[in-house]
Every structure is written in C-alpha cells, then in structure tokens.
Amino acid sequence: MAALTIATGTGNWFSALALGVTLLKCLLIPTYHSTDFEVHRNWLAITHSLPISQWYYEATSEWTLDYPPFFAWFEYILSHVAKYFDQEMLNVHNLNYSSSRTLLFQRFSVIFMDVLFVYAVRECCKCIDGKKVGKELTEKPKFILSVLLLWNFGLLIVDHIHFQYNGFLFGLMLLSIARLFQKRHMEGAFLFAVLLHFKHIYLYVAPAYGVYLLRSYCFTANKPESAASSLFPTLSFQEGPLSCILGSKLLGFVQCFGQSAVCHRLLSVGKAGDASIFLILTTTGHYSLFPLLFTAPELPIKILLMLLFTIYSISSLKTLFRKEKPLFNWMETFYLLGLGPLEVCCEFVFPFTSWKVKYPFIPLLLTSVYCAVGITYAWFKLYVSVLIDSAIGKTKKQ
Ligand SMILES: *[C@@H]1O[C@H](CO)[C@@H](O)[C@H](O)[C@H]1NC(C)=O
C-alpha cells in the first residue's frame, strides 16, 4: 500500500500495480500445481531433445505435444534457459520429474511471460478515453480497468497456482484488440493470427474477428469512420465471449469461463448495464474455477483472493456508475449472494456427510449447474442489451 501511495504521487501507479501483482505471483510459487506442470515439462523435454520431425509423434509420456507450432517453438526457446536451471527436466524419460529448480524455472517462466500481458493492458488503457475523470485516482476508469485485468482472479489461480500460460496469450489477444481500436487493423489481424498459432482454443473468437475486419477494414468505402469503430464493441467483444462460453460448455474447458470474463471486462468500463452483466459473468465464471483447486492449503487462498477481487470489482464499478440505476436487481443480488451458501455446502458441510463416499460428484454437479444458470442468464441479458442498443441506433439514424 505504501508503494502504491508513493507511486501515485509520481503518476506511476501502473508500475506499482504490475509490481504488486508480480510479488503476489512469487508468493504463490510453492502452492499446489496440477498435471499441467508435467505437461509443460514434457514439452520442454520433447522440443529440447528431439528433432522437429519427432515433436508431434513422441509419445513416451501420455501428455503428448498437442498445441500449435508456435507454442512448440516457445517451449523450445524456454528449454534453452531451462538447461541452466536443471538439465534433468529436459529428459523425455524423466516422467513426473519435479525438482525444486524445475519448479522455480517453470513458475518464473509464467511470471516472466506476463510482461507481454502487462504491456497489452497498458495499451488497452490508452484506448479508453478519460472523459469520466474522477478526482481520485481510484475512480478513474483506466485505474479500475488496470486492476481488473492485472489482478484478475481467474488468471492468478489458473496460471500461477494450477499452472498454465494463459497470461501472455491473453496479452496477445488484448494487444490485438488494442491495435484494432487504434485503427491499426493489419497489425491487429496479424497478432490474432499469431495467437491462433499458439493456442487453437482462440478459434472461437475468429468469426467475430473476421466479421469485424470485413466490415471495418475491407468494406469501408462509403462508410463514415465512426460507424466502423462503433461496430467493434457489438461484434468482437460480445460475440467473442459468447462463442467462448458456448465452446466451454460443449468441450468442458473450464478455464474458458475465466477467459470470457477477461474478454468481457473491457466493456464493463463503458456502460452501467454492461457492468452488471460483466460482474455476473466474472463472479460466476470465477466461482466455476473453484473446483480446479481442491487441495486444503489452497482453500483459504482461493476464497480470500476471490472475495478480494469480487468486492473490489463490485465496489469500483458501483462508484464509477453511481449516478445511474443500481447495478443489480433483487434476483441478481439473491443469485450472487447464493454463491456463499453454495461454497459452504460444497466444501465445509458435504465432506462430513455420508454421501461423500457414495455420491462424491455432487458438489461439482451443484457448482456446475449453479454457475451455468448465471452464465446463461448473463449471456441472455447481453443479447437483449445488444439488440436494444442497435434498435436505438437505427431509430436515431432515421
Ligand atoms: C505420473 O503422475 C501421474 C499423475 O500424478 C500418474 O498417473 C502416473 O502414473 C505417474 N507416472 C509415473 C511414471 O510415475
């Protein structure tokens, strides 16, 4: 907090936010990590010790390399740093190898790659206009957006506890979005293409990108500039998270909820109605990530971080939109508060009941169903909001 106060004086609050969360990430190094840790160790070993022709055929470990080529090259480059930490992690036959140096290297590689994410957040912040300038720093949309992105609960637990590299991939996506906002369309399209070569899950967002680029870059001959830029929020941001959610339901990518939440948050600093959709989507999406961390020592960490993030996002957006109608209606409030009792039932009451042995899947089932209701509702509300907006737009034109 002291660092933040000093930094704000010099206008350098952004660095303080980034540095603060980096320290938090370092504190999370010793926490539980999932099998994804071994997945990435194995990919380091494969790309380091085998010729390219073998990368996609090597199957000593069950975790074969199944990400697109750029990610494989990324692991290849990382492996040349990894060898200075511990050569043993680069042996394809060393299954489940996890020395303390291996752990340090892998954790630090995720933290280090987040530099790209931090840069992208900065670029995104430049895209929001500072018309709603509050007196206080903490009331500025740029500050709120930075906190919501940099200190994102989903990214923290999925990347820095569970173990994955979503941070820099999101960074690429945010950067690409920022370039579109800055009307540097070719660059934006290029960055998105690069992203697809890293992780194919982003294919869900591709249709929205395609439509947006066609309308705002390819067919702009007789259209005013402003029309092109106003299209972006309705097409890319909203379709993006939607297709992402749909995909996650079909394919079971839990972390996708977190992703969609991140895509969506840029919207939240625009309109009060969108802020409420955003809050329902993020809170529910983040809660749906809870089952990823099922170990006892991480229980207080995840609950505390989630509470911190949720309380901050609700209170900051409330301040930002204090002149407009309340963020939630009674039903939404009731639903969000219900997450509390749900958590108590699933993690504190259920383990002591006789059903624990016979029906161990019940907490997961309850969580999934409860979150699915909220996410579907937010999705529905988003469609209604988009339709109303475009109807109003049309009437204004006439
Ligand atoms: C590696 O760990 C996984 C999961 O923890 C386990 O299923 C597998 O049998 C282990 N493999 C070896 C060779 O120890």
- Supply the DSSP string of 30-85, one letter for each residue: TS---THHHHHHHHHHHHHHS-HHHHTT--SSSS---S-HHHHHHHHHHHHHHTTT
What single letter denotes the amino acid at residue 226? S
Calculate helix-pair angle for 141-150, 13-27, nearest 10 degrees. 20
Predicted pLDDT of residue 50: 96
Highest mean pLDDT among 57-61, 127-131, 214-218, 376-380: 57-61
The minimum-distance atom of ligand 1 relative to the CA of 96 is: 1
Q: What is the mean pLDDT of residues 326-341?
A: 95
Mean pLDDT across the chain, nearest whole number? 83
What single letter denotes the amino acid at residue 285? G
Q: How far is the CA of 295 from the centre of ligand 1 (A)?
A: 18
For the cut 60, the answer to whether the pLDDT of residue 289 exceeds it is yes
The single-letter DSSP state of residue 140 is S
Predicted pLDDT of residue 250: 30
Work out the pLDDT band at 3, boundaries 50, 70, 90: low
Predicted pLDDT of residue 265: 52
Work out the pLDDT band at 395, boundaries 50, 70, 90: confident
Looking from the CA of 218 toward its CB, the CA atoms found within 13 Å total 8
Sign of CA dihedral 270, 274, 276, 277: negative
Contact 382, 277 (CB under 8 A): yes
Based on the number of CB atoms within 10 Å of its own CB, is 215 exposed (0-12), middle (13-18) or buried (19 or more)?
Answer: middle
Percent of the residues in the chain that have a pLDDT greater than 70, as a whole number = 82
Predicted pLDDT of residue 141: 81
Does the CB atom of residue 63 touch ligand 1 within 6 A? no
Q: How far is the CA of 165 from the centre of ligand 1 (A)?
A: 22
Does the CB atom of residue 97 touch ligand 1 within 6 A? no
Contact 45, 89 (CB under 8 A): yes
Minimum CA distance residue for ligand 1 atom 10: 96
Minimum CA distance residue for ligand 1 atom 2: 96
The single-letter DSSP state of residue 205 is G
What's the CA angle centered on 163, arms 350 and 190, to 5 degrees?
A: 130
For the cut 80, the answer to whether the pLDDT of residue 131 exceeds it is no
Q: What is the mean pLDDT of residues 292-304?
A: 92
Burial 225-240 (b: 16+ CB within 10 A, else e): eeebeeebbbbbbbbb
Q: What is the mean pLDDT of residues 369-378?
A: 91
Predicted pLDDT of residue 342: 96
What pLDDT, in 10s, does the model give residues 213-266? 888 888 875 444 443 343 333 333 633 333 333 333 333 333 444 445 545 555
Question: 162-176, 233-247, 267-281: lowest mean pLDDT where?
Answer: 233-247
What's the CA angle centered on 263, arms 339 and 64, to 5 degrees?
A: 90
Q: How far is the CA of 90 from the centre of ligand 1 (A)?
A: 17
Most informative mutation of 92, 96, 295 for ligand 1 (most atoms within 8 A of CB): 96
What pLDDT, in 10s, does the model give residues 14-73? 999 999 999 999 999 999 999 999 999 999 999 999 999 999 999 999 999 999 999 999
Does the CB atom of residue 62 touch ligand 1 within 6 A? no
- The closest of 111, 91, 87, 194 to 160, measured between CA atoms, is 111
Q: How far is the CA of 30 from the centre of ligand 1 (A)?
A: 20
Work out the pLDDT band at 204, boundaries 50, 70, 90: confident
The minimum-distance atom of ligand 1 relative to the CA of 95 is: 13
| pTM to 2 decimal places | 0.85
What is the domain partition of the chain in residue ranges?
99-397
